[in-house]
Structure 1
Amino acid sequence: MNSNGAAGAPVSPDLSAERSNLDVPLLALWSVSPERKAQVIDDTTSGSIPSPLYYVLLLASGGIAAFGLLANSAAVVIGAMLVSPLMAPIFGIALALSRGDLHLLRNALVAEFGGVLLIIAFALLLGLLPFALEVTPEMLARTKPSLLDVFVAALAGLAGGLAMVDERTSPALPGVAIATSLTPPLATSGLSLAFGAFDGAWGAFLLFFANFLTILAVSAAIFILAGFVTRAEIGTRTDLLKRFSATGIGLLAVATILTRQLIVTIDDWRLNQAIVTTIEHAIADNPGARLARVIYDQDADGSVNVLATVTTPRSFTPQKVEAMQHAIADSVNRPISLFVRCAITHDVAAAGSANLLPTVNLNGDFIAASVTPNVRLTEAAEQTLRELVSRRQNFELLDVQLVHLPIGPLIVATVSGARPPVPSQVKLAQERIRQRAGDETATLLVRATTTSDVTAKGRVLLGDAQFSPMTAADRTLQEKVETRGKTALEQVQNTFVDSIDAAKHGDKWEVRAEVVSARVLQPAEVGRVAKELTALAGAAVTLSVLTPNGLIVEAKGFTTVQRSVEEALARELAARDLSERVDQSK
């Protein structure tokens, strides 16, 4: 009977076994000891309590972040990230939602969003103080979040969660704090409110909220996968979805907003690249010109206003700016209004102007950026001309420009001096330019402006006569020679001496006079005056008389200024050629 009774009795379920199954972790993809789990839960719970010390750290973090943003100091902003305790309540919210712990959830939410309001309010207060003067790049960088920030936050949340549950990776927590960037966006939001930039404040808060939701979702997944949540705590699938529904909806909304922002950012980047590339291409043939900065804004109708700051040796013409404007409009397919701010600069080396466009490589060395053939030809021409002008102090080089003609490149050099250069001087400079540039088609055109140097004594005919040091005796003799020379020349009927200079060279004197006469003075007349001056000076005197039409009268005959210069240049080149042959023979 007992056997029959035993066989017929119903089998009751084993409730202890069912309870033990509910206490088993839902998942345990890697091994975490019970002691480590208890320590993590205890640390997360205590870190989520809104204690006075917690809020003091938040104030310190917010203040450091605000001052770092106002000072545009990335190092100070990083320090604020390390001090901030905002990460702990996020882990607390994630753990509470995963385990269904309402007490922990309440504490963590109060700590997190109480801290958010505290940091924004503190930064707002600091932004109203007098030292908050301007917006900095560190602030602007946090007002335009994109979907890329969500990806960064996801990776940071993954690293933070792993560092939390696995003590071997706990040293990585400071790096995670830097990567997540929770406090600086909140401080930027408060400063933006102080500056009246409400769009910027919203963008900065959106960056924080995106980081918050992403870290929350990723860390919750890690807690579940690491076995911190039992089957009883997780409840049914419906319970889990209810707990994380707000997080999921918020994350989806933020991702949608940031995706749109990312599209706008990419479009803005393409527009910026098109503007910069087009302007740099347009000014590539202008020696010494380089693009320093571009700022722009877009109107509601899609048109773009561009302000480009260019450092250049000379201003651009309106036609040049108009051509750049059309090129940018064609590139971006939008109406463009271009304004070019020319900052006049000039790079000068020992040999003259040097438009080398220096840049710095990764080794910290200065290197010359590549230039176009037109710029290279202009550089070679300008350096050659400055070298020639520096040897002869008669001219000042004002400008060098390159013009392209059907016959080839034309180099237009603007010079100033007491007289125009002679053709032989231009020919010599042109040959040197062709040799240095390696272009036999280059033609040199010199545009000369005549200047007159006048002192209280009169027009300067001989620089040594007025500006070279002399002894008192020589200075007295100079005055006598100049006075006697002027008197003797004006004895010729209807002849007037406008200027006269006498300079001593060794044991000889050179006298040059500029006269206006009703007739051309004859060499014999000039020779007579030269003999008088020789007798007065007690040394050989060479006298030359210049007329307004460029004629030079000397005792030995007539010549012209141009021929005189050409003969002197020929003698100089012959002497240099002889010296070079002698050096080669040695």
Structure 2
Amino acid sequence: MNSNGAAAAHVSPDLSAERSNLDVPLIALWSVSPERKAQVIDDTTNGSIPRPLYYVLLLASGGIAAFGLLANSAAVVIGAMLVSPLMAPIFGIALALSRGDLHLLRNALVAEFGGVLLIIAFALLLGLLPFALEVTPEMLARTKPSLLDVFVAALAGLAGGLAMVDERTSPALPGVAIATSLTPPLATSGLSLAFGAFDGAWGAFLLFFANFLTILAVSAAIFILAGFVTRAEIGTRTDFLKRFSATGIGLLAVATILTRQLIVTIDDWRLNQAIVTTIEHAIADNPGARLARVIYDQDTDGSVNVLATVTTPRSFTPQKVEAIQHAIADSVNRPISLFVRCAITHDVAAAGSANLLPAVNLNGDFIAASVTPTVRLTEAAAQTLRELVSRRQNFELLDVQLVHLPIGPVIVATVSGARPPVPSQVKLAQERIRKRAGDETAILLVRATTTSDVTAKGRVLLGDAQFSPMTAADRALQDKVETRGKTALEQVQNTFVDSIDAAKHGDKWEVRAEVVSARVLQPADVGRVAKELTALAGAAVTLSVLTPNGLIIEARGFTTVQRSVEEALARELAARDLSERAAQSK
């Protein structure tokens, strides 16, 4: 009896030790108090129960996410992330698998995947409503997952798990860190189904599933490493592997799919960079040309169809497009079909500005973009000519091109107007272009096309005569002056008046007539008519008669259109120089 008791007494300590060893955590890399463990287990268990309030929150989160996606509002989508309760069941599944708790596992699976189906169905219903009109970038961003999304989910799961078990960290962190990767993809999947985009729906669900598995695995590892699982709960190695085999296989399958997708994404990025770089290099010498957008599609045979949208002052020639197409094909080593959509634009800066071709740096500051000398000279010429033409009536700048000749760079400017510019005007423009561009060898060649402005009254000789407001009395007097002037001029033998305009400037009248005559009118003839008109108007009248060959006849004598313009330009420059000197003296 005593010996048996002694034997029993001898064995009991070993059995007690063995039982106590089973209750010891398998691993405990950091200290978590028993109270905190109990609280985490209790919170996780309660959060994994599929209660009605849980599904109401899911409907709210799914609706917010769907509306945010349809409105392309990142802020609204973030709001859906904050209220989503999908995080808690994932922790429940992770804890149940780690501890072998079948009851918790059942509740958590029902809560998680019941919620998944509910969000997808609700988003599908919203997508069928009339206000769901188009796919948005917020939706597209969630239809093409890659392996990078798995890494993001792993970090989110790590942050959420650590916040859950560490009592020093806010318990609100898991909802912020993890829900970001769950509700929006599910809402995108439902909306994609509503739009008939089944590939997009699968891609969005794959993003959710990858995030779900990754967060599940990371959370389970945290529970084990934090000492939430005892040796008895972990069971044998075989039991442990059985419980996590589905998770491991799923992760491996998803990682394989997403790795392939990542490879495809990297290839697409490289192809896109090669196309963009080649096009930008090819149009670098085209003044004012900018690559705005590139869209491409790859055929099954490996060929690539490229649509490039370019903002440019003039359309590209087919030869230019073909050269760019060959350059892209050589760069990517694939057959290329290039289509260039030219959006005609012109870069215009404020008068006197030297900042050409603005660009933006990473600080958001505007800077002068780095351009080739050809582009800089052309842009400087275009801006200078726009400033000069804007001060001249009846002139329009149509085009500016740069041609390289043995003598040097020649700027060919095409303008239209009632008359060609005179040499002194071209010289002034050339000097200003050279100064702005810093190139003293640049030569300006103006290619002028003559236009005529004609109204029901006749050719417009004085814009003020036909387009400036007048009182009824002045308009009646204008008609009398023009009628008398035409009659008086045609009294000269074989003289015909094609057009005549009279404009009032202050207390004086200016009259301009265009005539065709068998002989040249004399200043005396013009002076006689001017006196008649002065008597009729009761105010001083200045009369100028223009002939088709550019001769101007006035009472004071003869001149030409070119000489008249040059004299007016000289007076303008002298007045401007005097004004600048006066300003400097102050």
TM-score by length of 2: 0.89
8 A contact 1:153–1:180 mirrored in 2: no
Deviates more, 1:304-313 or 1:529-538: 529-538
Name the SS of the counterpart of 2:10 in structure 1. coil
Change in 2 beyond 3 A, CA 1:218/1:551:
same
After superposition, the Cα gap between the structure-2 partners of 1:559 and 1:223, relative to the gap in structure 1 and judged at 3 Å, is: same
The superposition leaves residues 125-179 of structure 1 with CA deviations (integer Å, 9 ceiling, x where unpaired) of 2222222211111111111111111111111111111112121123452464456
CA RMSD, Structure 1 to Structure 2 (Å)? 3.5
Instruction: Call closer, same or farther: CA 1:103–1:423 in 2, change over 3 Å.
Output: same
Indicate conservation of the 8 Å contact 2:84/2:175, yes or no: no
Cα deviation, residue 265, structure 1: 0.8
Distance in 1 (alpha carbons) for counterparts of 2:66 and 2:402: 52
Unaligned runs of 5+ in 1: none
In 1, Cα distance between equivalents of 2:275 and 2:198: 29
Q: How does 1:318-333 map to 2 (within 5 A)?
A: 318-333=318-333
Q: The residue matched to 2:404 in structure 1 has which SS?
A: strand
Q: How far has the Cα of 1:187 moved from its partner?
A: 1.5
2:88 alignment partner, SS class: helix
- CA–CA distance in structure 2, aligned partners of residues 557 and 402 of structure 1: 42
Post-superposition CA distance 1:170-203 (Å, at most 9, x none)? 3452464456511211111111112111111111
Distance in structure 2 (CA, Å) of the matches to 1:82 and 1:584: 65
Shift of the alpha carbon at 1:439? Answer: 1.0
- Check whether the contact 2:394–2:417 (CA below 8 A) recurs between aligned residues: yes
Give, in whole Å, the separation in 2 of the partners of 1:108 and 1:553: 102
Whether contact under 8 Å (1:152, 1:180) holds in the other structure is no
Q: Name which of structure 1's ranges 79-88 and 334-343 shifts more when overlaid on structure 2.
A: 334-343
**Is the contact made by 1:147 and 1:259 (CA closer than 8 Å) also made in structure 2?**
yes
CA displacement 1:495-529 (0-9 Å, x = unmatched) = 22222344566776654332222333445555555
Contact 1:412 1:446 in 2 (8 A): yes
Alpha-carbon contact 2:358-2:367 (below 8 Å) kept: yes
Closer, same or farther in 2 for the Cα pair 1:42/1:469, shift >3 Å?
A: closer
Partner of 2:312: 312
Q: 2 CA distance for matches of 1:66 and 1:502?
A: 69
CA contact (8 A) 1:523 1:557 kept: yes
When structure 1 is superposed on structure 2, of 52-61 and 262-271 the one drifting more is 52-61
State the Cα distance separating 1:494 from its structure 2 match.
Answer: 2.4
Q: Which moved more, 1:337-346 or 1:442-451?
A: 337-346
**CA apart distance, 1:52:** 2.2
1:495 touches 1:517 (CA, 8 Å); kept in 2? yes
Equivalenced residues, count: 586
Distance across 1 between alignment mates of 2:192 and 2:447: 57
Q: How far 1:537 moved relative to its partner?
A: 6.5
Shift of 1:30: 1.1
CA apart distance, 1:4: 15
Check conservation: 2:288, 2:379, Cα contact below 8 A: no
Q: Give the distance between the partners of 2:71 and 2:540, measured in 1 at CA.
A: 76
> Contact (CA 8 Å) 1:159, 1:176: kept in 2 or not?
no
Q: Give me the identity figure in percent.
A: 96
1:517–1:18 CA distance, 2 compared to 1 (3 A): same
After the TM superposition, which residues 387-402 of structure 1 pair with which residues of structure 2 at under 5 Å, given as runs?
A: 387-402=387-402
1:110-121 mapped onto 2 (5 Å cutoff)? 110-121=110-121
Q: How does 1:451-530 map to 2 (within 5 A)?
A: 451-467=451-467, 482-503=482-503, 510-523=510-523, 525-526=525-526, 529=529
Conserved? CA contact 1:329–1:336, under 8 Å: yes
Deviation, 1:249, is 1.3
Q: State whether residues 311 and 345 of structure 1, in contact with CA within 8 Å, keep that contact through their aligned partners in structure 2.
A: yes
Output the CA distance in 2 between the equivalents of 1:101 and 1:199: 37
**Cα distance in 2 for residues equivalent to 1:444 and 1:8:** 116
Note if contact 1:89-1:111 (Cα within 8 Å) is conserved in structure 2. Answer: yes
State the Cα distance separating 1:264 from its structure 2 match.
0.8
Structure-1 residue corresponding to 2:146: 146
Cα deviation for residue 535 of structure 1 reads: 6.7
Asked if structure 1 preserves the Cα contact closer than 8 Å seen for 2:82 and 2:176, the reply is no
Gaps of 5+ in 2: none
The answer (yes or no) to whether the contact 1:45–1:104 under 8 Å persists in 2 is: yes
Q: Residues 452 and 459 of structure 2 are in contact (CA less than 8 Å); yes or no, is this contact kept in structure 1?
A: yes
**Residues 407-433 of structure 1: per-residue CA shift (max 9 Å, x gap):** 333222222221111122111111111
Determine helix, strand or coil for the equivalent of 1:228: coil
Mapped contact 2:163–2:174 kept (Cα < 8 A): no
**Larger displacement relative to structure 2 (518-527 or 316-325):** 518-527
Contact 1:78/1:178 (8 A) holds in 2:
no
Q: Does the CA-based 8 Å contact 2:510-2:543 persist in structure 1? A: yes
CA 1:239–1:475 in structure 2 vs 1: closer, same or farther (change >3 Å)?
closer
CA contact (8 A) 2:296 2:304 kept: yes
Greater mean alpha carbon deviation, residues 132-141 or residues 526-535: 526-535
Judged with a 3 Å threshold, the aligned counterparts in structure 2 of structure 1 residues 533 and 272 are, in CA distance, closer, same or farther, namely same
Q: Which moved more, 1:152-161 or 1:398-407?
A: 398-407
- Tell me the distance in 2 between the aligned counterparts of 1:132 and 1:354: 48
**Shift, 1:401, TM fit:** 3.1
Query: Does the 8 Å contact 2:37/2:165 carry over to 1?
Result: yes
Aligned partner of 1:436 in structure 2 is: 436
Alignment deviations for residues 23-42 of structure 1 (CA, whole Å, 9 cap, x no partner):
11111111112222122122
Instruction: Give the drift of 1:340.
Output: 2.7
- The answer to whether the Cα contact below 8 Å between 2:308 and 2:338 also exists between their aligned partners in 1 is yes
Q: Answer yes or no: is the 8 Å Cα contact 1:156–1:179 preserved in 2.
A: no
| TM-score (normalizing by structure 1) | 0.89
Report if the CA contact (8 A) 1:353-1:379 is conserved.
no
Identify if the C-alpha distance between structure 1 residues 40 and 536 changes in structure 2 by more than 3 Å, giving closer, same or farther: closer
Q: Which deviates further from its counterpart, 60-69 or 507-516?
A: 507-516
Provide Cα deviations, 1:469-509, integer angstroms capped at 9, x if missing partner.
Answer: 67777766655554444344333332222223445667766
Structure 1 CA distance for aligned equivalents of residues 579 and 52 of structure 2? 91
Q: Which moved more, 1:250-259 or 1:389-398?
A: 389-398
- The 8 Å contact of residues 508 and 541 in structure 1, kept in 2 or not, is answered as yes
CA separation of 1:58/1:510 partners in 2, compared to 1, >3 Å: closer, same or farther? closer
C-alpha distance in structure 2 between counterparts of 1:43 and 1:576, whole Å: 84
SS of the equivalent of 2:85 reads coil
Cα deviation digits, residues 5-44 of structure 1 (max 9, x gap): 9999997882222111111111111111222212212222
Do 2:511 and 2:542's aligned partners in 1 also have CA atoms closer than 8 Å? yes
Deviations 1:60-101 (A, max 9, x none): 222222222111121222222222222222112211211122
Tell me how far 1:390 sits from its aligned partner: 3.3
Structure 1 residues 395, 352: CA separation in 2 closer, same or farther (over 3 Å shift)? Answer: farther
